Amino acid sequence: MKAVIIDDERDSREILANYVTKYCPDVVVCGFGESVETGLRAIREHEPEIVFLDIEMPYGNGFDLLERARDYSFETIFVTAFDHYAMQALNQSAAYYLLKPIDIDELIKAVEKIRTEQKNENYTQHSKVLLNNLKAGPATSQKVMLPTLEGFEIVDIQSILYCEAEDNFTKFYFEHGKPLLICRTLKYFEDILNGFGFLRIHRSYLINPNFVVRYSKGKGGYVTMKNDKELEVSANKKKEFLEAFNR
């Protein structure tokens, strides 16, 4: 696979290129960019399968580059220093990303995932889901990409009734359709969905309050969801839950 590296720091470009050459033998680094403009030129010249893209660059960012690339066919591996907002957006779309300084195992894993998923006939570019979410704005039109054992499901966030912890997996229940068992912990999705009004009411439950039809008092109490499922509210979450509904 051909790759282009776009980063405004020369040392970062060289280090990543060396890592890719040494640890990803099936990937050839064929071009570089240090800004949105030079990155776009490298992409048009080399037509890569993978673009390693720094999020923060002078005179624009990685998202601006993808927006201007329009109908691109490459997959993106974002390279970034830790930023909570960026991480939440990347995780929401299950986008590939590497944190600086680069972890070699994570680099190998990201490249291997792309190689495997691109062979799937239902393959969807994660970065395009990310861009659509960034442009969509209101929570009512946002989507989340859910990694399943077979691949990925892309769902409307506001179609989710609630999520239930099952060891290191999370079971998603929807307004319509069958539940999905997802290969991530409930805490992982709590961090993503918290910004969309979801409430953690118990160590096992993360709910969409738009689908609560009844609350029953008790030590913590119980909520009844739109699908008639009754879920326990833990005593230490009761105050936070009631305050959310008062707001």
CATH number (domain holding residue 29): 3.40.50.2300
According to the model, what pLDDT value does residue 228 have? 94
Number of domains in the chain: 2
Report the C-alpha dihedral over residues 24, 47, 151, 211, rounded to 10 degrees.
130
Q: Could you tell me if 26 and 83 lie in one domain?
A: yes
Closest CA to 19 of 125, 104, 135, 115: 104
Give bridge partners of residue 29 from the DSSP assignment: 3
Say whether pLDDT at 83 is over 70. no
The closest alpha carbon to 184, from 92, 96, 118, 82, belongs to: 92
Residue 85 is predicted with a pLDDT of 52
Is pLDDT of 195 > 90? no
Measured N-to-C along each axis, helices 84-92 and 126-136 cross at an angle, to the nearest 10 degrees, of 120
Is the distance from CB of 130 to CB of 92 less than 8 angstroms?
yes
Residue 19 · residue 107 · CB < 8 Å = yes
Domain range holding 35? 2-131
The pLDDT of residue 238 is: 93
Same domain, 7 and 115: yes
Q: What is the value of pTM for the model shown?
A: 0.63
Of the chain, the percentage scoring pLDDT greater than 90 comes to 50
Asked if 9 and 122 sit in the same domain, the reply is yes
Of 96, 131, 166, the position where a domain reaches its end is 131
70 with 106, same domain?
Answer: yes
> 122 pLDDT exceeds 90?
no
Give the strand order in the sheet containing 75-80. Answer: 28-33, 2-6, 50-54, 75-80, 96-99
pLDDT at 81 over 90: no
- Whether the per-residue pLDDT at 138 is higher than 60: the answer is no
199: domain CATH number? 2.40.50.1020
DSSP 82: -
pLDDT, residue 141, reads 65
Asked if 74 and 27 touch (Cβ cutoff 8 Å), the reply is no
Task: Check residue 139 and give its pLDDT.
Answer: 55
Residue 213: other Cβ atoms inside 10 A: 10
User: For position 140, what pLDDT does the model report?
Assistant: 55
Does the pLDDT of residue 46 top 90, yes or no? yes
At 137 the pLDDT is 57
Kindly state whether residues 125 and 161 are assigned to the same domain: no
HSE (side-chain half, CA atoms, 13 Å) at 192: 22
**Residue 156 CB neighbour total at 10 angstroms:** 13
151 with 224, same domain: the answer is yes
Label residue 136 by pLDDT band (50, 70, 90).
low
- Of 48-57, 94-103, 113-122, 188-197, which gets the smallest average pLDDT? 113-122
Residues 20 and 122 in one domain: yes
Share of the chain above pLDDT 70, in %: 88
| pLDDT value at 68 more than 90 | no
